[in-house]
Structure 1
Amino acid sequence: MAPRLKILLFLLILLCYTITVMGNFIILFLVFSDTRLHFPMYYFLSNLAVMDICFISTVVPGMLKGFLNQGVPISLELCLMQSYIYFLVGMAEFLLFAVMSFDRYLAICKPLHYTIIMHRLTYCQLIAGVWLGAFFTTLLPTVFIMKLQFCINVVDNFFCDLSPLLRNSCTDTSKIELISILSASPLCISVVVTLISYLKIILEVIKIDSADGRGKALSTCSSHAIVVTLIYSSCIFLYVKPAKGQGASLNKGVAIMNTVVVPLLNPFIYTLRNQTVRRSFSDKVLNIFFKKEANFPGVISV
């Protein structure tokens, strides 16, 4: 890769990483500091923010070091740990997308039943189910990968993804590939739940008499659909198939979209476009501004 292109990519990915982390921390601050956001939908979004921070921080810092140092040395133990955290958080995020789409379905299509169904206990159970489901789904493939013997000690990727790990093994990996495909079944279930929920939401929104309200709702659904399509299509391409025979260059390109672009879009598409969140953010900024102004010389605060 040309040095100028490498520097450009480094700066671009660093910018994406910084914006993603800052945006998600702002979301967490707003949700936990503003009582107007103490509702299940915003708690789900705060969980998504935590997942995005963990997900992108697992991969991107090492990627940036690789741009500067022509590769980064990593022990086998840390490589396997990175791989497990990557798939754990990724699977949790897929399951959370399904939960969030179901939550929106209840809020829009069953508004009278929403507060009865989506109370604090239900929210806690769904979040616990998301993390436990992701934990057990990713545990079995990781256990089998830990038993592999590796003949090549260079990972041809910017993080310890499944494909390069299997290519580096000198033992038979067909069983692990099958287990990985079976372990990806929750991803397919998540896709189905998400698609059905948004389809029902769209059918309900079409019935709205107000053209302005219908347009806003469809705009929100379409922006959500863009993110969901990007992340689901990239992950189905990468993981719902035998991984050993895929081309490394193509996998890298798809993985960059999955690990950098989607986490960058999530806070803006799912949260910061929300009117209540924007109002909360404006109030916090104004509050900070006027507090600082009150401390200026010559200004008397009452």
Structure 2
Amino acid sequence: MKESNQTTLPKEFILMGLTDNATIKVALFAVFSVIYITAVIGNLLIVVLVKADSRLHTPMYFFLSNFSILEVCYTSTVVPQMLSHLLAEKKSIPLIQCAVQLYFFLSFGITECFLLSVMSYDRHVAICFPLHYSLIMTKRTCIAMATTSWVGGFFFSAVNTAFTLKQSFGDHNKIDHFLCEMPALVSIAYGGTHQAKMCMFISCVFTLILPLSLILVSYTRILYTILGSHFGMGMRKAISTCSSHLTVVTLFFGSVLSIYLRPKSSASKEHVKIASVFYIVITPALNPFIYSLRNKDVVQALKKLMHKSREINKSGGWEGCW
């Protein structure tokens, strides 16, 4: 009994990674490097466009810029280390680095769930209460909602990380994954993992099920309003933005829920890795294209920025601005 109650943590963990095939590793390194660079540049470009163009200084684009910053942080927590391990012989990660990765990975992931829920509420107010939109979605309210999303993510992550690192691992330090993730760590712990599993379940309810339920409620109200109303171009423009948000929600929640809510008996380790790659690596790279290619305001802001850049070059570089 004394041994099971004592918390033992290894000095380092061994990440088994995606594959042992050297040729596939090199190919994955090349592909994931391009995708990661695309994700970082694309999301940062959206932040720059929202900041530079006054027409994008609205609640929707305020949340979109928050979301883009979040995506850069989220993918950067995992991908650089994953890329280095694809070419490294020893895929070890020190305990402290594993703990830091676990904390920030959970923080940004949970914040994304909350922020997607907030963005759906913004669309709900814009379509269902268009005359009161500016009164409801004030600057102060938007900042408060975004801040609550970020703080909530870091809070729930701290609780989950603490319960995970309370487990006893002993000599079990091989993680069959490419990152330090809570389910993967709990699965190799021995002894009393009941508290960690209960914490993970409760956290899933508050950070996955509840935000997704709020999103479904918002879009149910939006659909009800659309079917029962006649509206002009302004309302059609607001509705068109919903398709981009719904696409992102489907990609993110679909892949995450396929891991966390799938029965253990049917959840293969290969499926978990593929789904993780999808929402950690691929989805952040797709989001800028989903929002920019389907959004005329973003496209116009990009054209305006490119035109301004050409004008600066023609006038003799940045010196011509002085």
Question: Same fold by TM (over 0.5)?
Answer: yes
- Please state whether the residue corresponding to 2:175 is helix, strand or coil: coil
Match of 1:140 in 2: 159
1:13 aligns with 2:16: no
CA positional deviation for 1:75: 0.8
1:30 aligns with 2:49: yes
Do 2:29 and 2:86's aligned partners in 1 also have CA atoms closer than 8 Å?
yes
Match of 1:73 in 2: 92
Cα distance 1:43–1:216, how it changes in 2: closer, same or farther (>3 A)?
Answer: closer
Match of 1:164 in 2: 184
Match of 1:152 in 2: 172
Counterpart selection for 2:123 from 104, 109, 113: 104
Most deviating of 176-185 and 271-280? 271-280
CA positional deviation for 1:245: 9.4
Do 1:178 and 1:242's aligned partners in 2 also have CA atoms closer than 8 Å?
no
Quote the RMSD (CA, aligned, Å). 2.7
The residue type equivalent to 1:174 in the other structure is H
Match of 2:104 in 1: 85
CA positional deviation for 1:123: 0.8
**Alpha-carbon distance in 2 for matches of 1:21, 1:27:** 10
**Alpha-carbon distance in 1 for matches of 2:235, 2:227:** 7
- Please state whether the residue corresponding to 2:92 is helix, strand or coil: coil
Do 2:126 and 2:238's aligned partners in 1 also have CA atoms closer than 8 Å?
no
- Please state whether the residue corresponding to 1:158 is helix, strand or coil: coil
CA positional deviation for 1:213: 8.8
- Please state whether the residue corresponding to 2:93 is helix, strand or coil: coil
Counterpart selection for 2:199 from 175, 179, 186: 179
Most deviating of 281-290 and 238-247? 238-247
CA positional deviation for 1:225: 2.5
1:226 aligns with 2:243: no
Cα distance 1:76–1:171, how it changes in 2: closer, same or farther (>3 A)?
Answer: farther
- Please state whether the residue corresponding to 1:184 is helix, strand or coil: helix
* Count, aligned residues: 298
Cα distance 1:244–1:204, how it changes in 2: closer, same or farther (>3 A)?
Answer: same
Instruction: Give unmatched runs, 5+ long, in structure 1.
Output: none
**Alpha-carbon distance in 2 for matches of 1:212, 1:70:** 58
**Alpha-carbon distance in 2 for matches of 1:104, 1:144:** 36
CA positional deviation for 1:74: 1.2
What's the CA shift string for 1:217-270, capped at 9, x where partnerless?
766544432321221122223234787995322211111111012211222223
**Alpha-carbon distance in 2 for matches of 1:32, 1:127:** 16
**Alpha-carbon distance in 1 for matches of 2:161, 2:262:** 17
Cα distance 1:259–1:133, how it changes in 2: closer, same or farther (>3 A)?
Answer: same
- Please state whether the residue corresponding to 2:191 is helix, strand or coil: coil
Do 1:34 and 1:280's aligned partners in 2 also have CA atoms closer than 8 Å?
yes
Counterpart selection for 2:281 from 237, 260, 267: 260
Cα distance 1:144–1:11, how it changes in 2: closer, same or farther (>3 A)?
Answer: same
CA positional deviation for 1:274: 1.9
The residue type equivalent to 2:64 in the other structure is L
Match of 1:284 in 2: 305
1:54 aligns with 2:79: no
Matches within 5 A, 1:187-226: 187-206=208-227, 220-226=241-247
Counterpart selection for 2:133 from 114, 126, 146: 114
**Alpha-carbon distance in 2 for matches of 1:114, 1:180:** 37
**Alpha-carbon distance in 2 for matches of 1:71, 1:234:** 29
Task: Give percent identity, aligned residues only.
Answer: 34
What's the CA shift string for 1:129-155, capped at 9, x where partnerless?
112222222222211112222222222
